[in-house]
Amino acid sequence: MPKARDTDTAARILDVAERLVQSRGFNAFSYADVAAELNVTKATLHYHFPGKAELGEALIARYAQRFSQALRAIDAGAGDAPARLAAYARIYGDVLRDRRMCLCGMLAADYETLPEPMQAAVIQFFDENLAWLAGVVEEGEREGTLRPNGSPEAAAQALLGGLEGALLVARPYGDLNRFDAAAAGLLTGLAARA
């Protein structure tokens, strides 16, 4: 069983690395960057994460777990489908508000240079989000609150792609309103017409 101090150090390493990936990208930071920020040796980083690939896998696993928890919290909120989709979009807005990008969106930009296990984890993250979104859209279609243009799966892809793209376009402007307007447009496009 790891000691509490080891667990704390690993969590701090992940916190710094996550912020660096979300602001710079996976290929634009090194162990030296993380070590300097935490005032530890690179050997300390290698003790917890033998290589950058293992660090990347741990980042994705932790991020995906937190995202899954957020989706469960949205589901537990018992809102209708449009409210659940709006809550989903707010997750992305909150990331941008912190002057970051979606971790897996940033990793997708570096996809071709990532080790295969990280590539698989990025795809799994998006697949899980797409499945959740398609389920919400299908539910909204059944209850009459959503009217997608096509299948629930196609609507999920459009929504996820649109939100990721809205993050990218809003980022250089530093303008959350640009993201919010794009997200609102995506959600309005799914709403059932009266």
At residue 3 the predicted structure's pLDDT band, cuts being 50, 70 and 90, is low
Tokens of 47: 């003790």
- Write out pLDDT tens, residues 8-49: 999 999 999 999 999 999 999 999 999 999 999 999 999 999
Q: Where do the domains of the chain lie, and which CATH numbers do they carry?
A: 57-190 (1.10.357.10)
Single-letter code of the amino acid located at 176: L
pLDDT of 2 over the 80 cut: no
C-beta contacts of 142-148 below 8 A and 24+ residues apart: 143/80, 143/81, 144/192, 145/80, 145/81, 145/82, 145/191, 145/192, 146/81, 146/82, 146/85, 146/190, 146/191, 146/192, 147/190, 147/191, 147/192, 147/193, 148/190
- The Cα 18–Cα 33 span in angstroms is 12
Confirm if 176 and 97 have CB atoms less than 8 A apart: yes
Cα–Cα separations (whole angstroms), residue 188 to 47, 54, 164, 181: 49, 40, 17, 10
Q: Can you give the pTM of this predicted structure? A: 0.91
At residue 7 the predicted structure's pLDDT band, cuts being 50, 70 and 90, is confident
- The Cα 185–Cα 179 span in angstroms is 10
First to last CA, the chain: 58
164 contacts: CB under 8 Å, gap ≥ 6: 92, 102, 105, 108
